[in-house]
Structure 1
Amino acid sequence: MTLNLPTVLTLLRIVIIPVLVVVFYLPYGWSNEVVVGLFIAAGITDWADGWIARRYEMMSPFGAFLDPVADKLLVAVALVLIVQKHPEILLALAAAIILGREITISALREWMAEIGQRARVRVSAVGKSKTVFQMVAIGFLLYGEPLLDLPVMTIGRVLLVIAAGLTIWSMVIYLRSAWPAITAERS
């Protein structure tokens, strides 16, 4: 396996995760700003690795496998940190919905690929919108302090609840698309 730039950027996103965790727990006033900076840097690598891979035809099977894994690891760890710091039912429920959907859709995609029906579960516009709301919400919630008189936590909560709603909607879309293959009799 040869490592190309997009794959290195994806691996960098994975390396950022433990650094983000350590900084999250540092007892300094600036740690939340650094955590958000790390989260944004990880998001930029996510955008950059895909753009570079497509633009310069550097796609690889390993990169295609690793990219969504890195995304899900980053989101899962960030949501766990947020819920641990702010143990509220609304945040916990939204995080559970988002994580449950990610596990379900990952398994569905793997199964659909195994039966040759991967195209049925392509990323939808609702799924992309969910990702935007989710990532912005996580950034606000990781920061967690008022900023320029903005109620950062309230904004983050609202955005995460919207992301959870979009999460359910996108999961229904994926399941409906896959339903014919799910219910088809196999011999």
Structure 2
Amino acid sequence: MRLTVPTLLTLLRILLIPVLVLVFYLPFEWTNWAAAAVFALASITDWLDGWIARRYDQHSPFGAFLDPVADKLMVATALVLIVQAHHTVWMALWAGVIIGREIAVSALREWMAELGQRARVAVATVGKIKTMVQMVALLCLLYSVNPYGEAHEVWMGRPIFVIGDWLLAAAALLTLWSGFEYLRVAWPVLREEGRSQLK
């Protein structure tokens, strides 16, 4: 198996997950900045590996498998850290919606791939918008919460936590919308497969 540059960047994103956890729990004033910076770096590698793969035609089956896995692991880890540091009902609900949707859509894609219909559940525009909103929300929240109760809620006069909180809610709603879109596209195939199995 040949490791391409995009795949190496994806592996770097996975390696950044324990770094994010470690930095988040360090008892220093600068750890909020550091946690947000680690997540920002991971987000940049997510964009960069896709751009390099398209620009230089460095696609590989392993990279195609690993990229969404790395994304979901990083997002789930960030959400768990945020909920642990700011454990409210709404924060837990948004995190549960986002993580649950990722699991459900991954299972749906796998099933569609087995049926030879994976292309029908490709990433849609609403999914890309959801990803952008989600990344900004998580950056804001990682910066503005920590497990020791001290929050950096304002930056340059802006209420960063409030912005992140509302953006996470918006991301959760977009998550439900995009998940519904995936299911709507896949439903005719799944229904036909179910009928064929009943015959």
Quickly name the TM-score band, shorter chain normalised. over 0.9
Return the offset for 1:34.
Answer: 0.7
**Which whole-Å deviations, capped at 9, do the CAs of 1:96-137 have from their partners, x for residues lacking one?**
000000000000001001001112111111111110110000
Rounded to whole Å, the distance in 2 between the matches of 1:115 and 1:42 is 33
Rounded to whole Å, the distance in 1 between the matches of 2:121 and 2:2 is 28
5+ unaligned residues in a row in structure 2: which ranges? 145-151
Rounded to whole Å, the distance in 2 between the matches of 1:40 and 1:30 is 15
SS in 2 for 1:186: helix
- Summarize the alignment of residues 146-165 of structure 1 with structure 2, pairs less than 5 Å apart: 146-165=154-173
**Which whole-Å deviations, capped at 9, do the CAs of 1:130-170 have from their partners, x for residues lacking one?**
10110000000000111112111110010000001101111
Give 1:171's aligned residue.
Answer: 179
* TM, length-normalised to structure 2: 0.92
Rounded to whole Å, the distance in 2 between the matches of 1:130 and 1:56 is 27
How many residue pairs end up in the alignment? 187
Rounded to whole Å, the distance in 2 between the matches of 1:60 and 1:114 is 19
SS in 1 for 2:196: coil
Give 2:147's aligned residue.
Answer: none
**Which whole-Å deviations, capped at 9, do the CAs of 1:69-118 have from their partners, x for residues lacking one?**
00000000000000000001111100000000000000000100100111
Rounded to whole Å, the distance in 2 between the matches of 1:47 and 1:73 is 16
Rounded to whole Å, the distance in 1 between the matches of 2:133 and 2:50 is 19
5+ unaligned residues in a row in structure 1: which ranges? none
Rounded to whole Å, the distance in 2 between the matches of 1:33 and 1:111 is 40
Q: Percent identity?
A: 60
Alpha-carbon RMSD: 0.7
Answer yes or no: is 1:102 the counterpart of 2:112.
Answer: no
Give 2:81's aligned residue.
Answer: 81
Return the offset for 1:186.
Answer: 2.7
SS in 2 for 1:44: helix
* TM, length-normalised to structure 1: 0.98
Give 1:181's aligned residue.
Answer: 189
Rounded to whole Å, the distance in 2 between the matches of 1:65 and 1:186 is 29
Rounded to whole Å, the distance in 1 between the matches of 2:158 and 2:33 is 15
SS in 1 for 2:113: helix
Equivalent residue letter for 1:127: G
Rounded to whole Å, the distance in 2 between the matches of 1:118 and 1:7 is 21
Rounded to whole Å, the distance in 2 between the matches of 1:186 and 1:58 is 38
Equivalent residue letter for 2:118: R
Rounded to whole Å, the distance in 1 between the matches of 2:115 and 2:21 is 38
Equivalent residue letter for 1:170: S
**Which whole-Å deviations, capped at 9, do the CAs of 1:39-79 have from their partners, x for residues lacking one?**
01001110111110111111000000000000000000000
